Protein backbone atom coordinates (compact mmCIF):
# COMPACT_ATOMS: atom_id res chain seq x y z
CA UNK A 1 0.00 0.00 0.00
CA UNK A 2 1.35 3.42 -0.82
CA UNK A 3 1.85 6.12 1.76
CA UNK A 4 -1.22 8.20 2.58
CA UNK A 5 -0.86 11.98 2.25
CA UNK A 6 -2.90 12.98 5.31
CA UNK A 7 -2.67 16.72 4.67
CA UNK A 8 -4.06 16.31 1.17
CA UNK A 9 -6.76 13.98 2.47
CA UNK A 10 -7.77 16.55 5.13
CA UNK A 11 -7.98 19.29 2.51
CA UNK A 12 -10.12 17.11 0.27
CA UNK A 13 -12.33 16.08 3.20
CA UNK A 14 -13.23 19.68 3.91
CA UNK A 15 -14.44 20.03 0.32
CA UNK A 16 -16.27 16.74 -0.09
CA UNK A 17 -19.82 15.80 0.65
CA UNK A 18 -20.35 13.32 3.46
CA UNK A 19 -21.07 10.56 0.94
CA UNK A 20 -17.88 11.22 -1.02
CA UNK A 21 -15.84 11.35 2.16
CA UNK A 22 -17.28 8.09 3.53
CA UNK A 23 -16.56 6.40 0.22
CA UNK A 24 -12.96 7.59 0.22
CA UNK A 25 -12.29 6.50 3.82
CA UNK A 26 -14.00 3.16 3.17
CA UNK A 27 -11.64 2.59 0.24
CA UNK A 28 -8.69 2.99 2.64
CA UNK A 29 -10.13 0.62 5.25
CA UNK A 30 -12.09 -2.60 5.49
CA UNK A 31 -15.19 -0.69 6.65
CA UNK A 32 -18.22 0.03 4.50
CA UNK A 33 -19.41 3.50 3.59
CA UNK A 34 -22.47 2.91 5.80
CA UNK A 35 -20.23 2.18 8.79
CA UNK A 36 -18.10 5.27 8.15
CA UNK A 37 -21.20 7.46 7.81
CA UNK A 38 -22.61 6.04 11.05
CA UNK A 39 -19.37 6.72 12.95
CA UNK A 40 -19.28 10.31 11.74
CA UNK A 41 -22.94 10.92 12.57
CA UNK A 42 -22.69 9.32 16.03
CA UNK A 43 -19.66 11.37 16.99
CA UNK A 44 -20.82 14.61 15.32
CA UNK A 45 -17.33 15.13 13.89
CA UNK A 46 -16.54 17.05 10.72
CA UNK A 47 -14.92 15.26 7.82
CA UNK A 48 -11.73 17.26 8.25
CA UNK A 49 -11.54 16.46 11.97
CA UNK A 50 -12.14 12.77 11.30
CA UNK A 51 -9.09 12.80 9.05
CA UNK A 52 -7.11 14.62 11.76
CA UNK A 53 -7.98 11.86 14.25
CA UNK A 54 -6.95 9.14 11.81
CA UNK A 55 -3.75 11.04 11.03
CA UNK A 56 -2.84 11.32 14.72
CA UNK A 57 -3.52 7.64 15.36
CA UNK A 58 -1.38 6.72 12.35
CA UNK A 59 1.52 9.00 13.40
CA UNK A 60 4.38 6.58 14.12
CA UNK A 61 6.52 9.36 15.55
CA UNK A 62 4.13 10.10 18.43
CA UNK A 63 3.85 8.16 21.67
CA UNK A 64 0.45 6.87 22.77
CA UNK A 65 0.22 9.69 25.31
CA UNK A 66 0.97 12.28 22.62
CA UNK A 67 -1.65 10.71 20.36
CA UNK A 68 -4.23 10.75 23.17
CA UNK A 69 -3.54 14.41 23.88
CA UNK A 70 -3.75 15.33 20.20
CA UNK A 71 -7.05 13.46 19.69
CA UNK A 72 -8.48 15.08 22.83
CA UNK A 73 -7.76 18.50 21.31
CA UNK A 74 -9.68 17.72 18.10
CA UNK A 75 -13.34 18.74 18.28
CA UNK A 76 -15.40 15.52 18.66
CA UNK A 77 -12.20 13.50 18.19
CA UNK A 78 -12.63 11.28 21.23
CA UNK A 79 -16.23 10.35 20.43
CA UNK A 80 -15.24 9.52 16.85
CA UNK A 81 -12.38 7.33 18.04
CA UNK A 82 -14.64 5.55 20.56
CA UNK A 83 -17.19 4.88 17.80
CA UNK A 84 -14.51 3.23 15.69
CA UNK A 85 -13.06 1.24 18.58
CA UNK A 86 -16.50 0.01 19.63
CA UNK A 87 -16.83 -1.57 16.19
CA UNK A 88 -13.57 -3.47 16.68
CA UNK A 89 -14.02 -4.57 20.30
C-alpha count within 13 angstroms, C-beta hemisphere, residue 80 = 26
51 SS3 class: helix
**Per residue in 23-52, pLDDT tens?**
877 887 778 888 888 878 888 888 889 889
What's this model's pTM, rounded to 2 decimal places? 0.67
49 vs 77: CA distance, rounded Å:
7
Q: Which residue has the higher pLDDT, 51 or 88?
A: 51
Amino acid sequence: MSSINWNELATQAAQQTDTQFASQIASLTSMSTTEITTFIQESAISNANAVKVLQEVNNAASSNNQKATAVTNIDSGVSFLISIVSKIV
